[in-house]
Amino acid sequence: MTTTIRKIFAPASILICLCVISLLFVELYGAMPEAPAIANPRFKYWTRDPLWNFTKPLMWEVSLLLGPKDRGFIRRDVVDGRTCLGVHVYQDGANDAHNWATVHVRQNLRGKAVKQLFEGTLEIWVYPTFMHQRYQNSAGDPENVFGLEINNGTNLLWIIFSEQASQIYQITRHLVVVINTPLNTWSRREVSIGNYCSEAGWTLPSEAALIFLVGATKGAPGEYAGFFQGIKVISKGPH
């Protein structure tokens, strides 16, 4: 009978001990911190992408939107002594069905992560290598891009980092924000995603894709590269 009692009470004792330890931890250190909005934000962990046959940051997905002779890839680069995510594109300029050659590195956010993104301030380290250009047409469409895309399935927000005056322009369901950033050097920038979306009249979505983006249209052929060292939500509230 003693053996039976021990079998019954041993699991219960372990459970009680775990509950007591948890309560003591909360009392001493406070509640567990909120999970970060963005996983693997400094690209510390990498894995092989089975679709594209190159390595990618863990928890991030890669999409290549290329013409028949365009090229695109990502890799772990070292630029000015800093290990980073390198995004590389070659636009051949051919008059084919693909206007853009782009590489997207995407993480899908939902629920609390989206709320943190839209209510907080986003800190990002970037290293642009080319100027942002626009077509000289009535719409002023972009010719190339280096930066971030926020895509909620209906609207697009582009945050472009380029060495030129900061500006904001809009095309159909597409808001473009250019932030003055020097070329060929590392820069830290802070971005309030929620403020830009609110000013555009967009509501807080239940999910959104956070995307690192490098690309060019066939009207701007050539080699393009851009580098990202890390990204995180650093605070709550508009800035």
Confidence of residue 35 (pLDDT cuts 50, 70, 90): confident
For residue 18, pLDDT beyond 70: no
Contact call for residues 231 and 211 (beta carbons, < 8 A): no
Helix or strand or coil: residue 150?
strand
Confidence of residue 204 (pLDDT cuts 50, 70, 90): confident
Which of 222, 64, 219, 225 is closest to 130 using CA atoms?
225
- List of E strands, the chain: 46-49, 54-57, 61-65, 71-79, 82-91, 100-110, 120-128, 144-151, 156-162, 167-171, 174-180, 187-191, 207-217, 222-236
More confident residue, 239 or 133: 133
pTM of the shown model: 0.83
CATH architecture type of domain 46-236: Sandwich (2.60)
pLDDT at residue 26, rounded to an integer: 40
Domain ranges of the chain: 1-33, 46-236
Tokens at 165, concatenated: 């005056």
Tokens at 231, concatenated: 């990204």
| Beta partners for residue 53, in sequence order | none
- What is the greatest pairwise CA distance in the chain? 90
